[in-house]
Amino acid sequence: MTAARIRPFRAGDEPALAEICLRTADAGGDATGIFEDDAIWAHIWVLPYAEHHPDLAFVTEEEDGTVSGYIVATPDTDAFERWFREEWWPRHAHKWPKPEKEITRQDGTLLYAYGRGEKPEPFAEEFPAHLHIDLLPQAQGRGAGRRLIETLVTALREQGVSGLHLVASAENTGAMAFYTRLGLAPLPSSPGSRAYGLKL
């Protein structure tokens, strides 16, 4: 099978990014139907990055032109979280009112979104950039994930960024093995998650 090509994100890719996010959001599996509104996932995990840092968004494109994966990032985690809290989320939060307490998984995710930017991120000083990467099953195992991360690392280095981190679900064992193979070092993590860092 021919390897998908890597290209920069461009306007019009947003629906594809949202679909990929949804189909990989459940610890790497399809999250369709887990929330009352499937759109919540992308509005937290991918679309704000593509809007705020389109220069750090890249996609895998198959021979037929379909997008099968993406990587998005911010070079400055604390600044991005403030922007998310002050500008991005207020534009969208009316669709999903803040839950009073966490009863469902959707409640917990929305409470997380409402709380972003309230305090400094734990890894942001040493590893100021962070990323999200997702590939549909047909794009996995073909080297696309490695090439996406290499492309992003090159772009971050060109901007003078000193370090990069990411946080994955502890249930996503395939992703954890992938990050380790790429040389990302494990960082102290909260229960249910695994964090990794890379000095640039």
Check pLDDT > 70 for residue 11: yes
Write down the mean pLDDT value for the chain: 94
Confidence at residue 142, expressed as pLDDT on a 0 to 100 scale: 86
Confidence at residue 1, expressed as pLDDT on a 0 to 100 scale: 57
Dihedral pair phi/psi, residue 11, rounded to 5°: -55, 135
Residue 147, domain CATH: 3.40.630.30
Confidence at residue 169, expressed as pLDDT on a 0 to 100 scale: 87
Confidence at residue 183, expressed as pLDDT on a 0 to 100 scale: 87
Report pLDDT digits (tens) over 129-175. 999 999 999 888 889 999 999 999 999 999 999 999 999 888 888 88
The pTM of this model reads: 0.95
Distance from the first to the final alpha carbon of the chain: 32
Domain around 136: 5-199
Report pLDDT digits (tens) over 175-184. 888 898 888 9
Report pLDDT digits (tens) over 26-37. 989 999 999 999
Confidence at residue 4, expressed as pLDDT on a 0 to 100 scale: 82
Number of domains in the chain: 1
Share of the chain above pLDDT 90, in %: 81
